Structure 1
Amino acid sequence: MAKSKTGQAFSATLVSGGLYKRNQGRLVRQLTAIGLVAVAIFGAYSLYNVLPLGMSAGVQKGIAVAIVVVSAWLAYRVVNFPRFADFLISVEAEISKVTWATWDQLWRSTAVVIVLMFFLSFLLLAYDMFWQFLFKWKWIGFLQI
């Protein structure tokens, strides 16, 4: 397996319980783990609904719960894998540098986008109606509806 900068392979970190750089990139790492577990829960629920009908409900639930538990552990280990954790730490550092728009700027920009979209849709409607009229004209007769 490929080794990370710290010299550990991902398979070696699967059995450890330690945290890598505990207080750095904490929010991004927690949200990433929550997202991964949410995907696992939805996947386990979908699998639970399509498992064979002859299987007992206890076995179906056991398989789904096992998938969620294993996925939760993998999510915990992935966000503490040194290369991925360093990436998430740098993501949080870059996000903190972003200058976010104020609510007033956000509303004005949204209004400009909505007005422009309506204008462009009406302009395309006008072009469409013009070309439809032109092609239905008796001398051209391209569209025979």
Structure 2
Amino acid sequence: MGKVKDGAPASKAPKPSKGGATGGSKRRKDFALFLANLFSVSLYKPMQGRHARIYSAAGLGLIVVLGLWRFYDVLLVYSPATRFGIPTAIGLVLGWFIFRIMQYPPFVEFLIATEAEMNKVSWTSRDDLYRATTVVLTTVVLMSVFLFGVDWLWSNLLQLLGVLKFGGGGAFGSSAG
């Protein structure tokens, strides 16, 4: 029971193609949901992932402001109405777009999960950070002094032996002079 005669493989049900009706309709459905969110005014889980949303929106807003500032500089040759009006209109549209992106359910779920994971991180205390930084900086300074001393010692020893000739007439290590 269950064996196929003559060693012929059992036939499998065909898989639906990715470019067929199912793949395209899912993309269209996702795009329709995105457009519906873009023209909506509702908030999606407003109290969850709040810090991640604020910082993400601030980062995107900073990018938009810097781009608008650059665009304003390009428009300096035009009238004041054009110089201020076009960047302001673009800024309002992009500001609304950023606000709506921060309410788009898949992106919000990602930000909520990100903030939850960041809350699980064990952050070092200020005192531990101060001690570790002191150790690293002290080690760097001591290694620099040690390597400078070794370099100075070998440089002078090799000059005394005549292997290294440096007359001081050019840049250090140059053969001019």
5+ residue gaps in structure 2?
1-23, 166-172
Partner of 1:40: 64
DSSP 3-state at the match of 2:30: coil
Correspondences of 1:90-129 after superposition (within 5 Å): 90-126=113-149, 129=152
DSSP 3-state at the match of 1:60: helix
Amino acid at match of 2:30: Q
- Matched length: 142
Cα distance, 1:58 vs. partner? 1.5
TM (norm. structure 2) is: 0.65
Amino acid at match of 2:82: V
- Paired residues of 1:48 and 1:61 also in contact (CA < 8 A): yes
Bigger Cα Rg: 2
TM (norm. structure 1) is: 0.78
Correspondences of 1:26-105 after superposition (within 5 Å): 26-53=50-77, 55-105=78-128
In 1, the alpha carbon distance for the partners of 2:35 and 2:164 equals 71
Query: Deviation per CA, 1:47-98, whole angstroms, max 9, x where unpaired?
Result: 1112251x10111111111122112111111111222111110111011111
Aligned-pair Cα RMSD in Å: 3.0
DSSP 3-state at the match of 2:127: helix
Percent of matched pairs sharing the same residue? 35
Counterpart among 26, 31, 49 of residue 25 in structure 1: 49
1:13 aligns with 2:44: no
More divergent stretch after superposition (85-94 vs 98-107) = 98-107
In 2, the alpha carbon distance for the partners of 1:81 and 1:131 equals 66
Partner of 1:144: 175
